[in-house]
Copies of this chain bind each other. A is one copy, B any other.
């Protein structure tokens, strides 16, 4: 069996994660048992949720165990199979973790899914046509429930979730305004992704200033918002939300590293009769096939051209992850294994 380089979490970060929290080891891959499949990873997905898993606190899932392979989504190719549904050469997506190979019990529901890479590049199954894309779909379709002509906003608009949100919202005839950090990202959001406008939050020192900028591009207010960030962005958006509007809460990245960030004006939830709802996409398996079909068509037809930042080599995964938490990536962050 092949050697398997892998990255373990060996201590829990206090605040920002550091290189010392991770360790690269190389172990043997074990022999396959019945129903198991050996997958060689081509790409590893890096996602903000991973920071939350590194904490040993009550959250929506168990914490990442210490001294074991970091959790993570992967795409790759089957190299050996003892499951009748998979053969060597099959392209698959799964949760292989921060390592070069994974041994997967392919009989577990949802553990491994075959993918068609004819029209969609394989790495996009970690982004636009994967978990981030379905995340955008669920928040948009199930929580915001948009109507054509409405104005929607999304934070971290140039990222994997934000860009998919924009494509899905445009397909529904909505006006979509992005919020992103920096001119390059904002230019990409409007020019390449086709958003109607994008606000650079880095040009604003407080939420009142950001909110004023939002007013200029959302003169009729905001009907639905998809929140990937929290903090100042959420406070600014809330001041512009319309009556009976909805906010889908998907991420609070700016709170992961430290103390809780308060919401400045919660009474707006009442004043505007808003719905503010949090969700975790993995808890809505029934949505996945429908969402993946639509996302695959948008990408396959070229209507949605997702961007990626690709780190080279497993050893660079921690550094790329630190960059992701600081917004250094541009589009979906993956690691080429």
Contacts and interface: CB of A to CB of B under 8 A. Distances in A.
A272 interface: yes
A108 interface: no
A26 to B, nearest CB: 35
B283 A278 contact: no
Copies in the complex: 2
Contacts of A264: 260, 262
A135 to B, nearest CB: 12
A275 interface: yes
B270 A251 contact: yes
A43 B269 CA distance: 32
Nearest to A267: B252
A270 B283 contact: no
A261 B280 CA distance: 28
A262 B266 contact: yes
Contacts of A260: 264-267
Contacts of A243: 60
A194 interface: no
B263 A273 contact: no
Interface residues of A, number: 32
Interface in A262-296: 262-267, 269-280, 283
A59 interface: yes
A277 B279 contact: no
Given A234-B266, A262-B266, A277 B274 contact: yes
B277 A255 contact: no
Nearest to A58: B271
A106 B66 CA distance: 71
A206 to B, nearest CB: 14
Report which residue of A230, A243, A250, A263 has the largest number of chain B beta carbons within 10 angstroms of its beta carbon: A263
12 contacts: A230-B266, A261-B266, A261-B267, A262-B262, A262-B263, A269-B277, A269-B278, A270-B279, A271-B278, A272-B278, A273-B278, A276-B277
Interface of A: 58-60, 230, 234, 243, 249-252, 255, 260-267, 269-280, 283
- The 10 A-B residue pairs with the shortest CB-CB distance in the complex, in nearest-first order: A270-B278, A262-B262, A263-B266, A263-B263, A252-B267, A269-B278, A260-B265, A275-B277, A276-B276, A249-B270
